[in-house]
Structure 1
Amino acid sequence: MLAALAVIGPISALLAKLSGDAFFERMRERNRVTEGFIPVIEQHQDFGTNTMWAAIALGVVTLALVYFVGPSAVAARTAGGPGGTRVMSIALTVLSVVAAAIAIYYVVRTGDSGAKAVWEGQ
């Protein structure tokens, strides 16, 4: 289940970014975006790009955590096969927490900038 979410999350972030970019281009083609509003939208796009990369990083770290630290890795290590070490477990856990914090930060910033753009015209 966790591995599936690690793949679905970044794909969702990518699709959200692509749909937002397409919407912005469609609005520009129809001259429905004023020149003064473009920097606001570009800031929102930048946050969206950072959100996408943060989601991808979190997905990669989560997949590594599942592969090297999950139950199958523990069973392999117990049976004498390749499996993650304790140091790797700690490192991947710390990386996953940091990646999650960064992803949350950018999701909040992206949502906030989009909401302000829509509701306040900023």
Structure 2
Amino acid sequence: MSSPSLAIRVLAVAIAVTLLAAPAAAAISCSDVIKDIKPCINYLKSGSGAPPSDCCAGASSLASAATSTADKQAACACLKNAAKNLNVKPELAKSLPGSCGISSPIQISPSVDCSKIS
């Protein structure tokens, strides 16, 4: 049995390098993001004071689910579009993670640059 030709070996290496270097696809869907943040919508549009507990539970769930850079950027893009459509109060959206006692780089803002989230 003869060994594979040089062209086949080069092709195999090129495919392996491509697969290893490919960015991970986001595992989180926009419907998952909306499901988690849905309890916050009324608060973000017209609330005041502390966010409701179900809102914080959803925000915490989202922060836990979005672990990879791809997930965080996908969640950010989804929230960015939602913020545009829902006309949320920027100050409430910005303070939501801190008000819920969570740490998250994902912002709810129509002007956030999601490509800068890592």
Choose 1 or 2 for highest CA Rg.
2
The higher-RCO structure (CA 8 Å, 6+ apart) is 1
Taking structure 1 as the reference length, what is the TM-score of the superposition? 0.34
Counting helix residues as a fraction of each chain, which structure ranks higher?
1
